[in-house]
């Protein structure tokens, strides 16, 4: 673990400490990466505090411009000691703003530590818009909801989630700030995939590729994607399916792929550092979630990469995927609709070309990582000045 008590740097800029669990390959983690890397170092000093290990996306954090400290929950008593460790670190570094990212323990621990350290601005970003399966249940959890009064504000990526927090969690709408996710259109752009990647994965010219890029967790519903893949293969035997990401449900989904007879058609690639190349290799990028989604980064990256999308019409997805123009939306849980949409794109070259062009144009016009970073900066400065 790095020195937990760093000396304060010279000069006076606003110090911002982001708190999350680990930089796994996931949507909200890529947002954290982009914001940490993009913040103006003439005005801000940035730290990234990880309650667990660093994770693969830490390789893309620009250190030492961003100071990364991990393992606050390290050891057999880590959960009990994490609050004390975070508080001691914050008291030494003296952040002007603590910014927690996501739900769970870091949401609670980060805010409590910031309060103990007398931090002026406490912000939290939430990225999951509840779907129909969450009606009547809190997404915050009992203890996180109990301490919402500590927040100077909450950042959401869609109006839907902001409205949900007001209507179902009783959080003031005026303290909720909507900052849409952005995508790096220079890193993600239309191009031919490397031949080495085709060779590695055994993708031949006649193959058509559908990908899902998401953590392998139950709520992402890879099971529905695999069931749709089975139907696609029956109509298009040359179809190939790439599952990119890792998570606790990986073994379950691997067993399901075998049960569906998809061993020759599906590859589980785990976490990858070459997501732009994976996007370029994909003829369509998919997402089958049925409950919790807001503005999934994989869909934004597909837009920027000029890849058609097929996704379920929940949360903020319809504001990203232009149905019939950049891709298709399917009702949540309807496997035949997913399969039909994927098959249509994979078998209609003219339609796919139109969707590729429309996707890139939409990304350039409506979703910018620079806008996302500047919006975070302005919010932090405004709240600090008002504190």
The 10s digit of each residue's pLDDT in 104-142 is: 889 999 999 999 999 999 999 987 766 555 555 666 778
User: What is the model's pLDDT at position 136?
Assistant: 58
What is the band of 349 on the pLDDT scale with cuts at 50, 70, 90? very high
Retrieve residue 72's tokens.
């606050």
Among the residues of the chain, which ranges form H helices? 27-38, 78-93, 105-116, 142-146, 159-168, 195-201, 222-235, 250-259, 275-281, 297-305, 335-347, 349-366, 369-386
Q: What is the pLDDT of residues 260-281, one digit of tens each?
A: 999 999 999 998 989 999 999 9
- Residue 10: the pLDDT is 53
Asked if residue 224 has pLDDT above 90, the reply is yes
Given this model, what pLDDT does residue 86 score? 97
Tell me what pLDDT residue 372 has. Answer: 92
**Per the structure block, which two tokens stand in for 115?**
């309060």
Does residue 196 register a pLDDT over 90?
Answer: yes
285 vs 232, 281, 301, CA distance in Å?
14, 10, 9
Dist. CA 71–CA 170, nearest whole Å? 33
- Given a contact cutoff of 8 angstroms between Cβ atoms, the answer to whether 185 and 364 are in contact is yes
The arrangement of strands across the sheet holding 176-178 comes to: 66-69, 44-50, 14-20, 97-101, 121-126, 153-156, 176-178
The highest-confidence range among 26-40, 136-150, 321-335, by mean pLDDT, is 321-335
Considering only the top CATH level, what class is 14-182+368-382? alpha beta
Is 294's pLDDT higher than 80? no
What is the spatial distance between Cα 306 and Cα 309, in angstroms, rounded to a whole number?
9
Asked if the model's pLDDT at residue 102 lies above 60, the reply is: yes
Which of the two residues, 222 and 163, has the higher pLDDT score? 222
How far is C-alpha 77 from the chain's CA centre? 29
Q: What is the mean pLDDT of residues 194-213?
A: 97
pLDDT(14) > 70? yes
Mean pLDDT of 277-292: 94
Task: Indicate if 195-366 has the same CATH topology as 14-182+368-382.
Answer: yes
Report percent pLDDT > 70 for the chain: 94
Q: Which CATH number fits domain 195-366: 3.40.710.10, 3.40.605.10, 3.40.50.2000, 3.30.2290.10?
A: 3.40.50.2000
β-pair partners for 286? 212, 310
> C-alpha angle 380/386/387, rounded to 5°?
90
Q: Which of 213, 166, 157 is nearest to 367 (CA)?
A: 157
Q: pLDDT, tens digit, for every residue of 19-36?
A: 999 998 777 898 999 999
The pLDDT score that the predictor gives to residue 74 is 84
Beta bridge partners of residue 241, listed in sequence order: 210, 266
Secondary structure (DSSP) of 159-174: HHHHHHHHHHS---GG
What is the pLDDT confidence band of residue 77, given thresholds at 50, 70 and 90?
confident
Run of H or E including 329: strand 327-330
- Average pLDDT, stretch 80-97? 95
Which of 243, 244, 237, 245 has the alpha carbon at shortest distance from 208? 237
Q: How far is Cα 201 from Cα 195, in angstroms, rounded to an integer?
A: 10
Where is 242: in which H helix or E strand?
strand 239-244
Say how many C-beta atoms besides its own lie within 10 A of residue 271's C-beta.
Answer: 17
Alpha carbon distances (Å) from 58 to 29, 50, 54, 230: 9, 10, 6, 36
Domain boundaries, the chain: 14-182+368-382, 195-366
**Largest distance between two CA atoms of the chain:** 65
- Alpha-carbon distance of 72 to 202, in angstroms, equals 41
231-252 tens-digit pLDDT: 999 999 999 999 999 888 899 9
Question: Residue 79 above 90 pLDDT?
Answer: no
Q: Average pLDDT of the chain?
A: 91
For the chain, the residue count is 387
What Rg, from alpha-carbon coordinates, does the chain have?
Answer: 21
How far apart are the C-alpha atoms of 190 and 145, rounded to whole Å?
A: 43
Pairwise pLDDT comparison (344 vs 273), residue with the higher score: 344
Residue 27: its pLDDT value, please? 77
Which pLDDT value is given to residue 150?
95
pLDDT score of 84: 94
For residue 2, pLDDT over 50 is answered with no
In sequence order, what are the residues at sequence separation of 6 or more whose Cβ sits closer than 8 angstroms to the Cβ of residue 109? 19, 51, 72, 82, 83, 86
Confidence at residue 11, expressed as pLDDT on a 0 to 100 scale: 58
pLDDT value, residue 235: 97
Q: Are 60 and 280 in contact (CB under 8 A)?
A: no
Q: 250-259 vs 222-235: helix axis angle to the nearest 10? A: 30
Residue 94 pLDDT level (bands cut at 50, 70, 90)? very high
Query: Residue 133: what pLDDT?
Result: 55
pLDDT of residue 1: 46
Q: What is the pLDDT of residue 242?
A: 98
């Amino acid at each position: 673990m790095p020195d937990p008590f760093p000396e304060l740097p010279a000069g006076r800029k606003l110090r911002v400490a982001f708190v999350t669990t680990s930089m796994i390959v996931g949507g909200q983690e890529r947002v954290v990466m982009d914001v940490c890397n993009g913040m103006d170092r003439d005005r801000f000093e940035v730290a990234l505090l990880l309650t667990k290990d660093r994770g693969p996306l830490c390789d893309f954090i620009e250190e030492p411009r961003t100071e990364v400290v991990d393992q606050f929950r390290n050891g057999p008593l880590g959960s009990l000691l994490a609050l004390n460790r975070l508080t001691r670190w914050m008291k030494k570094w003296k952040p002007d703003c603590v910014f927690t990212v996501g739900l769970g323990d870091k949401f609670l621990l980060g805010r409590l530590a910031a309060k103990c350290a007398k931090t002026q601005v406490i912000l939290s970003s939430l990225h999951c818009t509840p779907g129909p399966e969450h009606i009547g249940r809190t997404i915050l959890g009992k203890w996180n909801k109990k301490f919402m009064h500590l927040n100077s504000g909450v950042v959401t990526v869609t109006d839907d989630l902001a409205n949900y927090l007001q209507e179902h969690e009783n959080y003031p709408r005026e303290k909720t700030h909507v900052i849409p996710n952005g995508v790096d259109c220079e890193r993600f752009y239309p191009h031919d995939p490397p031949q080495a990647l085709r060779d590695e994965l055994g993708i031949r010219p006649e193959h058509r590729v559908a990908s899902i890029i998401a953590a392998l967790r139950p709520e992402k519903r890879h099971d529905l994607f695999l069931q749709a893949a089975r139907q696609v293969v029956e109509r298009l035997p040359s179809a190939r399916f790439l599952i990119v990401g890792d998570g606790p449900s990986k073994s379950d989904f691997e067993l399901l792929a075998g049960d569906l007879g998809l061993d020759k058609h599906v590859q589980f690639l785990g976490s990858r550092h070459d997501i732009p190349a994976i996007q370029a290799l994909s003829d369509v990028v998919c997402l089958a979630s049925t409950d919790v989604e807001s503005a999934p980064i994989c869909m934004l990256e597909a837009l920027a990469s000029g890849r058609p999308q097929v996704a379920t019409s929940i949360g903020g997805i319809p504001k990203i995927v232009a149905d019939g123009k950049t891709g298709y939306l399917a009702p949540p849980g309807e496997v035949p609709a997913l399969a039909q949409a994927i098959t249509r794109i994979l078998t209609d070259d003219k339609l796919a070309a139109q969707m590729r062009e429309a996707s890139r144009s939409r990304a350039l016009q409506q979703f910018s990582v620079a806008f996302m970073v500047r919006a975070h900066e302005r919010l932090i400065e405004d709240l600090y000045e008002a504190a």
